[in-house]
């Protein structure tokens, strides 16, 4: 198993970072929050989990070992693959997920794209004795509260991709109506989706 990768950041895309390790570029799937902390040319260390399929090898990257452990524990529940586990960590921090499961907070799980009411109920039952108790103080949704808001994360990600501050400002403004519609409907803006939309806007203006 590849426990972590460490090296200069060679590239950052909407859902992937490329870390140069010994002259080899390792493509690592990451959450928007993790990607927002990376800068091309700067050193980075990501905890990783290798998912092996018949037709692919996919490396998932995380800000720390705790996040990776929760990612792997989530997949022990039926119906949870690596993409859904990553989506759960994109919306909630590891401790927020532990608290949601330990308190039976169904609403916190349905805030994750791809998880409905029945799925949340099943996950609460299956994960109750697997994730353990929260390590620190956390509330469901703590990632969005403690981490920068979607606009800050999006702006940081765009600058990290090499766009000028002015271009990043304009792109954030362009997708703000889309994010506000999501909030008005009771959802949480997904930075990865907004980043793709922002990049399309930037490509049209170039």
Which ranges of the chain have pLDDT less than 70? 136-148, 204-206
Domain limits, the chain: 4-62, 77-144, 148-205
* The listed CATH number (2.60.40, 1.20.272, 1.10.3470, 1.10.8) that belongs to domain 148-205: 1.10.8
pLDDT score at 165? 84
Say what the pLDDT of residue 141 is: 46
Report the pLDDT value the prediction gives residue 136, as an integer from 0 to 100.
Answer: 61
Q: Give bridge partners of residue 53 from the DSSP assignment.
A: 56
Q: CA 57 to CA 75: how far, in whole Å? A: 16
Per 3-state DSSP, what percentage of the chain is helix, strand, and coil (rounded to 5)?
A: 50, 20, 30
**Does this chain's domain 4-62 share its CATH topology with 77-144?**
no
Confidence at residue 205, expressed as pLDDT on a 0 to 100 scale:
55
Q: What is the pLDDT of residue 13?
A: 86
pTM: 0.67
**At how many degrees (to 10) do helices 65-74 and 82-91 cross?**
130
User: Residue 17: its pLDDT value, please?
Assistant: 93
The CATH architecture that domain 77-144 belongs to is Orthogonal Bundle (1.10)
pLDDT tens, residue by residue, 26-61: 999 998 888 888 889 999 999 999 999 888 899 999
- From residue 67, alpha-carbon distances to 16, 48, 165, 168 in Å are 17, 10, 30, 29
CATH 2.40.50.140 describes domain 4-62: yes
């Amino acid at each position: 198993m590849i426990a972590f990768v460490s090296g200069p950041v060679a590239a950052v895309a909407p859902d992937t970072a490329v870390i140069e390790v010994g002259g080899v570029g390792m493509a690592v799937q990451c959450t928007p929050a993790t990607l927002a902390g990376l800068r091309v040319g700067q050193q980075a260390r990501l905890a990783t989990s290798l998912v092996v399929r018949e037709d692919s090898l996919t490396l998932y990257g995380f800000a720390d070992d705790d996040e990776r452990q929760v990612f792997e524990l989530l997949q022990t529940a039926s119906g949870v693959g690596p993409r859904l586990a990553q989506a759960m960590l994109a919306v909630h921090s590891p401790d927020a997920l532990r608290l949601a499961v330990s308190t039976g907070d169904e609403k916190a799980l349905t805030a994750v794209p791809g998880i409905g009411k029945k799925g949340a109920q099943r996950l609460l039952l299956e994960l109750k004795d697997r994730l353990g108790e929260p390590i620190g103080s956390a509330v469901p949704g703590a990632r969005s509260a403690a981490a920068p808001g979607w606009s800050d994360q999006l702006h940081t990600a765009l600058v990290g991709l090499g766009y000028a501050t002015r271009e990043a400002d304009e792109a954030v403004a362009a997708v703000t109506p889309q994010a506000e519609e999501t909030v008005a409907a009771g959802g949480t803006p997904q930075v990865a989706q907004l980043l793709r939309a922002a990049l399309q806007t930037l490509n049209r203006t170039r």
